[in-house]
Amino acid sequence: MFARGIFQELRKEPEGDPDYLEIADTIHELAAIQEKLDSLERLITDIEICNPETLQKSFRCGWQSGGQNVNYDFWTDGQDAVSERMLQLAIEEREQVRASLLEKIDELAKRRYQNSYTNCDFSSRGVED
């Protein structure tokens, strides 16, 4: 990140040109949100298809607490209180992540149209007088 900041300062884009590094960062953020949504969708599907007769699953949840990694294993058969609560939590998290995705897309749209009415002289780019 440090080197990126230095190079970004040294490399000046012509007025009105999109900032590639900023766009790349936004694309990476969108990809991370999509990956989280995909993971939540798989979790929700896994919980919903569980039943005591044919499919039971274990899940490992991990988080950081006080600077230490904490892991907790859940066992679900789709019919117990743990399954129901995990499903509720996953659905709530999915709603929040979807809202975050929509906000990020709205930000992109606003930035896209910020400079849409400015004219750039593309004919002079890269040409030395």
Domain extents for the chain? 19-113
Look at residue 73 in the predicted model and tell me its pLDDT. 85
For residues 30 and 101, is the Cβ–Cβ distance under 8 A? yes
For residues 22 and 43, is the Cβ–Cβ distance under 8 A? no
* Tens-place pLDDT, residues 71-93: 888 888 878 888 888 889 999 99
Work out the pLDDT band at 100, boundaries 50, 70, 90. very high
Give the C-alpha separation, 40 to 35, whole Å: 9
Place of tokens 């930035």: 111
Look at residue 30 in the predicted model and tell me its pLDDT. 92
* Tens-place pLDDT, residues 16-64: 566 777 778 888 999 999 999 999 999 899 888 887 777 788 878 888 8
